[in-house]
A and B are shown apart, each in its own frame.
Chain A
C-alpha cells in the first residue's frame, strides 16, 4: 500500500456507495419492515439527516486538518495514548464487522444458490481476489469500484423497472403520525450502515480534492437516499412488510417473484452478481482500513506482508463469529447494529466536539 496513491472524492464516494449496497439489500428492508411495517420505506429519509451531519463533520475536520487522515486527526485531538486506544478499538470493531460480512457473503450464497454445498471454497475465492487487488493498493480498488458502481446501478434499475408490476401501493400505506417513532427506530440501523463513510476517512490523506467533499458528498448521499427508498419501495411494496420482516434476504425474494409476461423471470442471478461484487469491495475496503490503522499504530512503513496473514485470520475468524444464519442474524441485531452506530457515527461526532472544546477545529 503506497502512501502516494491518490483517489478523488468521487471515487471515494463510489467506494462508499458500493460497500453500502450489500448490507443495504440484505438488511435495510428487513429492519424497516420489522420496526415501521408498511411505513418502513420512509426511514431512509430520516437516516438522511445523520449522514449529512457526519459528512459536514468530516468536512469541518478536513478543513481544519489539510491533507491529513482521520487517524492523524484522532492523534492530534486525543493525543497519542488515547488515540492509540481508540484506533485499537476501531481495529477490533472493523475486524468483527469484516468477519461478519465474510460470513454473510457465504451465507447469502448458500441461501440463494447452493443450499447444500460447503462454504469454505466461496470464502477462499473471495479472499484470493481481495489479496490480488489489495496488493496494488487503493487506486486499483477505487477504479474497480467505479466499474462495479455502474454495473450494480444499471442492474438495480433494470430489476426495479421489472418489479414495478409487482409493487402494490396498499403494501406501502398508510403513513400517519403513529409511524413517526417506528420510522425513527427503523432509521437507526440504516444510519449505522451509512456511517461506514467514516471508515473511508481513514485514508482521507489520499483523497485529492477533499475540499469538494460537502458538494460532491451531498450529490452522492442524495443518490444513496433515493436508491435506498426505491429499494425499500420495491421490496416492501411487492412482498409486503410481514414477509419482508420474516425473510433473511427479502430483496432476493422480491426479485425471485419478478415475472414479466411469463417471459422474463428467474433473474435472481443478477442479484447474486451484485452481492459478490459489492461484498468484494466491502471486504477489500475494510481490510485496507484495518491494515492502514495497524500501520499507524505500530509506526511501520509497509505492511503489505500482512495482507496474506490477515486474510487467513479473517477466513478463520468468519467461522467463529457465527455458525448458523440464526446466530448471524442475532449477532447483527444485538451487536453489529450498535457497533456500527457507535464506531462510525458517535465517535466522529465526539472527536469533532472534543476538537472544538480544545480549539483544534
Chain B
C-alpha cells in the first residue's frame, strides 16, 4: 500500500512540476453564472468602414440590476439600443472570432455564446458569400449547430437588431415565434445551421434562407398617450436566394410559398380566390403535397411533371350566396388549382431565369434516379434552365367550420 501511494505521488508530482504550467490549466475554465452575458442573437455583417473587416452585433437580455438598463456599446463606444432590458454589443474584427473576442473587452461580463438562438447575416455580407461568415458558428466551439439562420433583407444585421431593440420588442421572442409559427402562412420558413451546412456542401442545390425585414408600422396604440407613433416591426419576409454561396436576391411571399409547395415544406396558409359571383373566398390550406415525376429519353431528361395535391377548408366568404352546390364548388376547386399553378409557374420561371435550383429538382432526381443523376449531374446547370415543367393540380375543398352557408344568405330571406 505504501509503495502504491508513493508511486501515485511520484507520478502526480512529476507531471505537475515538470509541466511548467499552473495547476488551474489542467481543469476546465469556469465562470459563475452571474458573470456571464448570455447572447441570444448574433448578427454578422461586413464592416461598413473597412470592407476587409467583419462587424458582429450581439443581442442579450441585460439584468435589471444593471445601471440604466441602456445599451452596451459599439466599436466607437456609442450607446446602442434603448429598451429597458434588451442590449446590444457591436464590435469589429478581421474574423468573426476576433470581433467576438474584441467585444469581450467592452462587455461588463463574460460573453457566452452557448445560448445563441438565431444568427442573422447582413445583406451585403450574404451577397459577398456566406461561407466565411458562417465558418466560426459552424465550428460549434460554444455555439450549437441547431441555431436558426436568417438573412437581413436589404439591410445589415446590426440595423435589424438595433432597430428592433429600439422599438421595445423582444427580437428573440419574435424570432422564436417565427420559428414555431411560420407554417401559419408558409410564406417563408425556418432553417437550422446544420441544414444550411449540408446544403452548402451539395453541388447542385439552390439554397433559400428565411429573410427578416424591417417594416414601419402605423400604430394607433394609446400607450403613453401617443397616437400614430411610427412603430418598427420585424417581418418574416420570404426567402433570400443563395447561388454559389452568394445571395443573388429575394423572392416575395408568393414565390416563397411556391418554393415551400415544391419542396413539400408548405404547412398551411390561405388562398384567396373569387367565388362564381366575384366575391372573395378564403380557402385555408390543410394539405399540400407535391410529387415530382421525371420523364427521360434514354439518359436525357425530357421534362418534369409536378403532381400537386391541395386540400383546403372554406375559412371565409364575402358573398351572401350559397356556394356549396356542385357547380360552385367545382368552380372554387378550379380557382384554387389555378392559384397554385400560377404561383408554381412563377417560381419555376424565376428559378430557370436565374439558373438556381430552389425547386428541389436536382435533389429529388438524385434520390429517385441516382444512376441517371450520376450521368447528368455535371450538365445540370445547362439542363435545368431549359427543362420543360408540367403541372397537374388536384384541388379539393373538404369542409368548412361551424357554419356552412353565410350569415344573411339571400335565399334564406
A interface with B by C-beta (< 8 Å): 113-118, 120-121, 124, 127-128, 170-171, 173-174, 176-178, 239-240, 242-243, 253, 256-257, 259, 308, 312, 315
Residues in chain B near residue A257, CB distance under 8 A: 144-146, 194
B370/A174 in contact, CB under 8 A: yes
A312/B29 in contact, CB under 8 A: no
> 1/0 contact trace for B1-20 toward A, CB 8 Å?
00000011001100100010
| Partner of A243 from B8, B21, B141, B198 at Cβ < 8 Å | B198
A120/B367 in contact, CB under 8 A: no
What's the minimum C-beta distance from A172 to chain B, rounded to whole angstroms?
Answer: 10
Q: In the docked arrangement, what's the CA distance between A171 and B7, Å?
A: 52
A239/B370 in contact, CB under 8 A: no
B26/A120 in contact, CB under 8 A: yes
A239/B29 in contact, CB under 8 A: no
Residues in chain A near residue B140, CB distance under 8 A: 253, 256
Q: In the docked arrangement, what's the CA distance between A253 and B140, Å?
A: 9
> 1/0 contact trace for B127-151 toward A, CB 8 Å?
0000000000000110011100000
Residues in chain A near residue B201, CB distance under 8 A: 240, 242-243
A117/B197 in contact, CB under 8 A: no
B145/A253 in contact, CB under 8 A: yes
B25 in the interface (beta carbon within 8 A): yes
> 1/0 contact trace for B353-384 toward A, CB 8 Å?
00000000001001110110010000000000
Smallest Cβ-Cβ distance to A109: which chain B residue:
B28
Smallest Cβ-Cβ distance to B24: which chain A residue:
A117
Residues in chain B near residue A170, CB distance under 8 A: 363, 367
Contact A174:B366 (CB < 8 A) given known A113-B28, A115-B141, A257-B144: yes
5 contacts between A and B (CB under 8 A): A116-B25, A178-B374, A239-B198, A240-B198, A256-B140
| Partner of A173 from B27, B367, B371, B374 at Cβ < 8 Å | B367
Interface residues of A: mostly helix, strand, loop or mixed? helix
| Partner of B19 from A120, A178, A243 at Cβ < 8 Å | A120
What's the minimum C-beta distance from A328 to chain B, rounded to whole angstroms?
Answer: 18
B27/A239 in contact, CB under 8 A: no
Residues in chain B near residue A124, CB distance under 8 A: 11-12, 15
Smallest Cβ-Cβ distance to A239: which chain B residue:
B194
> 1/0 contact trace for B142-183 toward A, CB 8 Å?
001110000000000000000000000000000000000000
Residues in chain B near residue A256, CB distance under 8 A: 140, 144-146
A117/B29 in contact, CB under 8 A: yes
- Chain B: residues with Cβ within 8 Å of the partner, total of 29
What's the minimum C-beta distance from A180 to chain B, rounded to whole angstroms?
Answer: 12
B197/A118 in contact, CB under 8 A: no
Residues in chain B near residue A121, CB distance under 8 A: 15, 26-27
Q: In the docked arrangement, what's the CA distance between A171 and B198, Å?
A: 9
Q: In the docked arrangement, what's the CA distance between A307 and B201, Å?
A: 48
Smallest Cβ-Cβ distance to B145: which chain A residue:
A257
Residues in chain B near residue A116, CB distance under 8 A: 25, 28-29
Q: In the docked arrangement, what's the CA distance between A116 and B27, Å?
A: 9
Q: In the docked arrangement, what's the CA distance between A357 and B370, Å?
A: 47
A239/B11 in contact, CB under 8 A: no
Interface residues of B: mostly helix, strand, loop or mixed? helix
Of B144, B198, B374, which is in contact with the most chain A CB atoms at under 10 Å from its CB?
B198
| Partner of B25 from A115, A117, A128, A239 at Cβ < 8 Å | A117
Residues in chain B near residue A120, CB distance under 8 A: 15, 19, 26
Residues in chain B near residue A114, CB distance under 8 A: 27-29
Known: A124-B11, A240-B201. 11 other contacts (CB 8 A): A116-B25, A116-B29, A118-B21, A128-B8, A178-B371, A240-B197, A240-B198, A242-B202, A253-B145, A257-B146, A315-B11
Smallest Cβ-Cβ distance to B18: which chain A residue:
A120
Q: In the docked arrangement, what's the CA distance between A127 and B14, Å?
A: 15
A176/B27 in contact, CB under 8 A: no
Q: In the docked arrangement, what's the CA distance between A117 and B19, Å?
A: 13
Q: In the docked arrangement, what's the CA distance between A326 and B198, Å?
A: 22
Residues in chain A near residue B21, CB distance under 8 A: 118
Q: Give residues of chain B (85-113) contacting chain A, Cβ–Cβ below 8 Å.
A: none
Residues in chain A near residue B12, CB distance under 8 A: 124
> 1/0 contact trace for B288-306 toward A, CB 8 Å?
0000000000000000000
B27/A117 in contact, CB under 8 A: yes
B198/A242 in contact, CB under 8 A: yes
Residues in chain B near residue A171, CB distance under 8 A: 198
A118/B25 in contact, CB under 8 A: yes
Q: In the docked arrangement, what's the CA distance between A253 and B139, Å?
A: 10
What's the minimum C-beta distance from A275 to chain B, rounded to whole angstroms?
Answer: 16
Smallest Cβ-Cβ distance to B360: which chain A residue:
A170
Residues in chain A near residue B366, CB distance under 8 A: 174
Residues in chain B near residue A113, CB distance under 8 A: 28
Residues in chain B near residue A240, CB distance under 8 A: 194, 197-198, 201
Smallest Cβ-Cβ distance to A168: which chain B residue:
B195
What's the minimum C-beta distance from A109 to chain B, rounded to whole angstroms?
Answer: 9
Q: In the docked arrangement, what's the CA distance between A118 and B371, Å?
A: 50
Q: In the docked arrangement, what's the CA distance between A308 and B8, Å?
A: 10
What's the minimum C-beta distance from A168 to chain B, rounded to whole angstroms?
Answer: 9
What's the minimum C-beta distance from A119 to chain B, rounded to whole angstroms?
Answer: 8
Residues in chain A near residue B197, CB distance under 8 A: 240, 242-243
Q: In the docked arrangement, what's the CA distance between A113 and B141, Å?
A: 10
Smallest Cβ-Cβ distance to B198: which chain A residue:
A240
A259/B25 in contact, CB under 8 A: no
| Partner of A178 from B8, B145, B363, B370 at Cβ < 8 Å | B370
B29/A177 in contact, CB under 8 A: no
A312/B15 in contact, CB under 8 A: no
Q: In the docked arrangement, what's the CA distance between A240 and B15, Å?
A: 42
Residues in chain A near residue B368, CB distance under 8 A: 174
| Partner of A176 from B25, B146, B202, B370 at Cβ < 8 Å | B370
A239/B145 in contact, CB under 8 A: yes
Residues in chain B near residue A118, CB distance under 8 A: 19, 21, 25-26
Of A173, A174, A253, which is in contact with the most chain B CB atoms at under 10 Å from its CB?
A174
Smallest Cβ-Cβ distance to A258: which chain B residue:
B146
What's the minimum C-beta distance from A20 to chain B, rounded to whole angstroms?
Answer: 26
Contact A312:B26 (CB < 8 A) given known A174-B368, A177-B371, A253-B140: no
What 6 A-B pairs have minimum CB-CB distances, sorted nearest first?
A: A242-B201, A240-B198, A114-B28, A121-B26, A174-B370, A176-B370
Contact A176:B371 (CB < 8 A) given known A117-B26, A124-B11, A239-B198: yes
Residues in chain A near residue B27, CB distance under 8 A: 114, 117, 121
Residues in chain A near residue B363, CB distance under 8 A: 170
Q: In the docked arrangement, what's the CA distance between A257 and B197, Å?
A: 14
Q: In the docked arrangement, what's the CA distance between A128 and B25, Å?
A: 20
